[in-house]
Each structure stands twice: as structure tokens, then as C-alpha cells.
Amino acid sequence: MAPEKEQPDPLRPRRDLARRRAGRKWAAALRYDPESDRAPKLTAKGAGVLAEKIIALAREHGIHIHEDPDLAGALSLLEVNTEIPEDLYRAVAEVLAFLYRLNREQGGL
């Protein structure tokens, strides 16, 4: 019987990129309306000063900030105003579920 081939990790290139960029602050903003959107969309992204501006705007508007360097690195590879790819659905779904719970607990949604 032949040994099983190890399945490639589809996110490995993105994780490697995120590790290389680890010294810099990165930020990404997502928008998702389950009634009108097929999938979450990347609405902004940036590094360094731009990342700080994205974060400041989120705070200014009361938007929760979730830190996940691997996810931010993967999102940084996308074009703004595009839907996230299927290989990121699970990671983004976990963040959205957390935010929905947080909003519900705080009397939001």
C-alpha cells in the first residue's frame, strides 16, 4: 500500500507572507450584509500609517477591531471591493460569529 500523500495547505503561501510582514502593522476592513451580499467584501486594506488610519476610523465609528495577523496577511493579497475567496470563509465566519455575539451581548444587533 502506497503511503498517503500529505494534503497541501492552501493558505500556506498567505501565512508565509503574513509572517514576513509581521514587523509592520496591517489592517483590513470587511463588509457583509447577509441579505444582499453573497460573501463578505474587503472594503479597505493598508499597512503602516494607512493601517493606523483604518483602525482609527473603525474606533471613531464604534466598530469592533479583531486582531488576527494571519487573516490580515491573507486579506492584504486581495483587491479592495472584492468578495473574499472561499478558502477564507471559515476564518472570516469565525470573526463574524464573534462580532454578532458581541453585538447581541451589548444590545446591538
pLDDT tens digits, one per residue of 55-94: 999 999 988 888 888 888 889 899 999 999 999 989 888 8
pLDDT tens digits, one per residue of 98-108: 878 887 888 75
What's the pLDDT band for 50 if we cut at 50, 70, 90?
very high
**How much of the chain, in percent, has pLDDT values that exceed 90?**
39
Given 3-state DSSP classes, what are the helix, strand and coil percentages for the chain, each rounded to the nearest 5?
Answer: 45, 15, 45
Alpha carbons 92 and 98: distance in angstroms, whole number: 10
Helix (H) or strand (E) holding 44: strand 41-47
List the Cα angle 75/13/5 in 5-degree steps. Answer: 130
**Residue 72 contacts residue 92 (beta carbons within 8 Å):** no
